[in-house]
Each structure stands twice: as C-alpha cells, then as structure tokens.
Amino acid sequence: MNRELLEKKANEFRKKLGLGSETTIRLKSILSQLNIITIFKPLSGGFSGMAIKIAQTENEDLKFILVNSNHALGKQHFTICHELYHLYVQENFTARSCVTGKFNKNDREEYNADWFAAFLLLPEAGIKALIPDNELGKNKITIQTILKIEHFFGCSRAALLYRLLKLNLINQDFYNYYKVNVKISARENGYLTNLYESGNHQEFIGNYGSLARELFEEGKLSESQYYSLLFDLTNPYDALKTNLNDEEE
C-alpha cells in the first residue's frame, strides 16, 4: 500500500470517528468508543505493543491492544495508532507483536502501520495549521512551534520531526539537532515533560472482566484460561494467544 493510499485510509478513519483533519485525537476515548480492550503494562526491551483480533460473530470481532507503558506517552500514542492499522485496515489480520516507529520497508505491514499511525496522529493539515506563515519555509520552524505541535497532538519529538522531514519542512541536519535534549527544551519553554516520560502503568480500558466471562460461557476460553485472565489482568496476552492458536488448529 503506497503512502497516498495510507494517508487516505487514515483520513477516512478520522472521519469515521467524527474527527476533522486539523483536530487532535483523544486516543483513550477512541479506544473506549471502539470497544477495544487496551492494557498498558511495563514491558522490557524495544517491544512497543501488540494487537489481537478474534472473531466472535460474523459481524463482530474481539479486539485487544497491549501497550508498553515503559515507553514515553508520546511513543505510546504512536503505538496505539499503529495497532489501529492492524485491527481496522490490514486484511486478514489476527495477531501481531510490534516494534513501532521503525518504518522498516523489509516488513511491509509494519511499514504500512507506521505510516498509517503517522498520518492518523499527525495529519498534514493539522501540522501546517499550527505553523505560522513565516515559519513554513525549509528549516524555518522554531522550537516553540515544534513544542506547540507535539503537545497539541500528543506525539513524540521523533514522530513530529520525521513528519516534518518527509513534508520537506526540515532537512536531516535540522532533524538531528532537535531530536536531542527534548525534555530540556520543553522545560525551558514552560512545558511539562510528562509527554516524554513513561506512564499509564497497569491501566486498562474496556469491559475486560465481562468479556472474559462471556468468552468462558461460550466455550471460547477454558476454565484455567478464564481464571488466568480474571486474576492476571496485567498480562492477558498468553491466555488470549493460546485461545487464538486453539481456534486455528
């Protein structure tokens, strides 16, 4: 899928959610609106998150996202948008663990998901609407405007700079200069630094317990899987993955 089509898909998804092309996306509200069970858990390594989709009925799927809460909040927001690609755009998707923001062309669906996330989280029209006219030339954007954009859209510095680079508003030297000392620049300009820090530890969104009970009563989860889900809300992946593998056999 080329970038133009991915941008179109991201814009269509925004419209489906009732969002304009210049508005920020309140991801926790969106996850609740879409009935996606989402769990934030501290995880090790570069693992960003994962998504699972399990068919329940002909017209309904159980959707699940796991997010690494050890990552900064801005990175977590990008990861959620990345996983939304897998759940709503990718064809024949079932499950995937992800390292997001790499834009790795060797993994086509991960590459697509990264670009979809970039377009969904940081729409071009929204970015340009926040840049003063006198800063729209190459390398003219100021750190004050960069901070304003990333806090408005809740994104990481890396994600915003990459978008600006691909929009030809900055060059690689500019990117390299501003990608470091992110917290310092925020504090110097009166911004809080929580966007660049980890958070949401052990938080979850959705009717997790009632869905686990429903799956158990329908025979889609064994008793041991059900109790594993019920008593270990912070790590449902193993039980759900086991159930998914059982259905595929």
Whether 146 contacts 178, CB under 8 Å: yes
Could you read off the pLDDT of 188-230 as tens digits, one per residue?
999 999 999 999 998 888 876 666 677 778 887 777 766 665 5
Could you read off the pLDDT of 143-183 as tens digits, one per residue?
999 999 999 999 999 999 999 999 999 999 999 999 999 99
Cα distance between residue 126 and residue 113, in whole Å: 20
Whether 112 contacts 90, CB under 8 Å: yes
Whether 124 contacts 14, CB under 8 Å: no
The pTM for the full model equals 0.86
Cα distance between residue 41 and residue 70, in whole Å: 7
Whether 214 contacts 191, CB under 8 Å: no
